[in-house]
Amino acid sequence: MSASLNAATTATAQDPACAEPLPVLGRDVTVPLVTGGEVTYAALDYAASAPALQRVWDDVAAYAPYYGSVHRGAGYLSQLSTDLFEQSRTTVAEFLDCRPGDQVVFTRSTTDSLNLLAAVLPADCQVFVFETEHHASLLPWTNAQVTYLNAPRTPAEAVATLERALAEREPYGPALVCVTGASNVTGELWPVKELAAAAHAHGARIVLDAAQLAPHHPVSVRDLDVDWVAFSGHKLYAPFGSGVLAGRADWLQEAEPYLAGGGASRKVSRREDGGVDVEWHTTAARHEAGSPNVIGVYSIASACRALTEAGFDHLVAREQQLVTRVREGLAEVPAVRVLSLFGEDAPRVGVISFVVDGWNSSHFAAALSAEYGIGVRDGLFCAHPLVRTLLGSEPQAQGECGAPEAAPGERSLNAIRVSFGAGTPDEHVERFVRAVRELVTDGAKWQYRTQEGRCVPAV
């Protein structure tokens, strides 16, 4: 390698302004505009599902001809697939900086991971969860005594609220705190390490919902001192629908399997009374019954390697430039209000939600798509209590295109969310900022109508 090329490579690695986004699938896809012509699609809905990294897709394509059933297969492809599956477990453990003895269980998603943890809670376990959580971490605890904590307005208030709730709990038994690492609505980072310290000081454990954190920041189970972490592959630039629950093994080993079936059992025998005796695995396999999603698991491991090799310092720095550009661009439009719990100066990932005066959010999102080729999200983002708290004083007209139906006497509420990450080109962000300004200033160029609760271009 020449000296000049070395210098150029070093400059690019150190200066996010010189950096290129990581290659992702769909970066060259064009979509039609209702006003005529086509444009390269700007995927700005990463918080729902991030596009797959090209590296991940290439790794999966290289493995696909060698695909075989995992565990217990005698054939070469089965042995190879088993090795790949278990190596992926090791890769994920390294990516999360797990402790010795921690288990990595492969699931379908973050939602599945947290439902698994809910299923293995000890008897009489109390769960503490902020109302600000995504439904995946708000709703699974139906078999436990749940305390829902009010939305805090500062990180310090979040810690104080949790400490007070834990100190007042009766009886003093097993307890679990569930908290997000980064909000899927505001993008704001939560004080996970401080919350973990508070939980442990009061004899509780803590699980981190890292669905929105892991794609944007390094997550260290060891440094954050959380007991478990859950995340989804499809938000980590990995397709095929797999997820992870990683952390302490004891509750997982002591509980009945989340799913009963092949793979979870070590030995099954008939009893004289006609029933069966089952000896369950004590490893992660205990909660991985059935044929696992080998390709999904491998794609997560590939994404973990790709992000690690790209360097999170570099990725975070570049993403923060995009966050700054979007926030500065939205601030220039007086009709736009960005939603926040912790205030303008709170650190955040590339997830920003906002409302626009005079617009129903579904109508605005539809116009961004149809007239500019920009894909964002609108609605309540599977975090209804949080969004309703943030929008509680801002009703939207029932008759406007795309206004969600509300119960009698209830306001119609929704917001717009733009989200981005390691694969987002600068041009997509610039187009979005320009489109917001033009729509607010000039209005939509097309007519829209409501169809099945959604705002769509009128034909």
Task: For residue 13, give the DSSP letter.
Answer: H
CB atoms inside a 10 Å sphere around CB 211: 28
Task: For residue 45, give the DSSP letter.
Answer: B
Q: Could you tell me which residues come within 8 angstroms of residue 4 by beta carbon, excluding any fewer than 6 positions away?
A: none
- Given the residues 98, 125, 178, 382, select the one marked as catalytic: 382
Asked if residue 23 lies in contact with residue 423, where contact means CB atoms within 8 angstroms, the answer is: yes
Alpha-carbon span 119 to 117, nearest angstrom: 5
Alpha-carbon span 424 to 22, nearest angstrom: 8
Alpha-carbon span 178 to 209, nearest angstrom: 7
Q: What is the longest distance spanned by two Cα atoms in the chain?
A: 80
Separation in Å, CA 453 to CA 34, 361, 406: 20, 12, 11
CB atoms inside a 10 Å sphere around CB 3: 7
Asked if residue 178 lies in contact with residue 127, where contact means CB atoms within 8 angstroms, the answer is: yes
If DSSP states are collapsed to H, E and C, what string results for 395-450? Answer: CECCCCCCCCCCCCCCCECCEEEEECCCCCCHHHHHHHHHHHHHHHHHCCCCCEEE
Q: Is 304 a catalytic residue?
A: no
Residue type, 345: D
The reply to whether omega before 171 is within 30° of 0 (cis) is yes
Q: How many alpha carbons fall within 13 Å on the CB side of residue 372? A: 26
Residues with catalytic function: 382
